Structure 1
């Protein structure tokens, strides 16, 4: 068995036993490694120390459970491996800057660490061949557009280390950007009826930052006052499409795994370089949207 498979076995075990005490000694035994080498390999592959990863996954599950206002916060704490309401509150505030009570009263999207799937780091698929991994279906293909497609929306600039899916916790400011755009969307006559929505990450204007555009397909390249635009130029694109069981898992889990697979596995192993942007394209933010595409343009 490959080393990554041994680590994935323990990642799966952790996910199934978050409510219980999880001992590194037991995880190391599952992986057939000494505790020293297990912790070293885990940190290398998962990018987090074991105990920190466990804490962050417990917080992610607790945040999800807090959306059910009929459940006591104490019960949520105990169900997710925290021994008291107070310990959950302290950990939650350290991670997200608010208490569980504040979050429940004023819910916002949070940056949570997703459960990793090591298979995506080591499996190479051919074009147009689907890959199934941990409930996500991925496929890489090529698409060509014959004329530019225009999108209008809002743009923000954020520190790279706060990029969703990067392993840092906190409020998902990109979710707030999308909320701001959707407040304006119904009043924008320039938008294409039933057109796609587009989120684009590109290089920032200063070191250590990136820009993110959130918008929708437009009938014209003209940009209304107070909004910004993005153009998908004519040409050939590499497109990674993926599906998840619902919209929440699509944008809070699947999209990060698809990005990681495309940029860290598929493109490097095919020796392909792409232009410095990645566009996430999907039908809408409706709960019934379960499919998304990442569009990148190869450098000639």
Structure 2
């Protein structure tokens, strides 16, 4: 499968540059999708985040260097991206459970994180309700936050929490009452992070305010809100009903590990949209395109 080959290409790139700077632009280029989409995909098929995998690989190799060479520990720390021996010592101890200085003077147990390699296993064990739909161009209006791509998974929940406390959520509900259009509900939209602009991305809390069909009347975007315009595309729309966050997380895991590899589709380079309705009902919209032969 082409997309599995691309994931493995990224892993090979990381391995080749594990003691150098790892470029998120290059990751986006090799993955042919945004870094945020790749981070999400990686975390569900590898059961660890991309940043955690890179850190654990570096700490694994650092331990081998301490055991097998006479290099100074500070030089090994710098080699694997740590700016000080103190920072390296803290990270090493969290991962291995011992101080790096004891590796050469005592018999200690060390952990390893082996290089990952991905392959497809068809299990068919999980049920997923979805539909594939050609959808017209549409506009989302809302609050835009510029965030660091690498920290997106930690920052996004805080954005929602703040919106609930500062009145933003009430304003979005008011806008929603004027604009009952698909994608429906309050929307969380992860946009950007593509090759050439991978270090940062935009996250929108918004509402659909226009769909490019004859019967639709555009709802005016408030002056202090931003617009995100999305083109006509093919979307897989997945039901994600149930308690949050498990319901959404289960959808992503099933999508990336089972549905996508066997679907004949590839990810399109468009934002991922989470739709939050009422009564624990949610949808996830992911843009797809046929795999080019």
TM normalised by structure 1 equals 0.44
Q: Which has the larger radius of gyration?
A: 2
RCO (CA 8 Å, sep 6+): is it higher in 1 or 2? 2
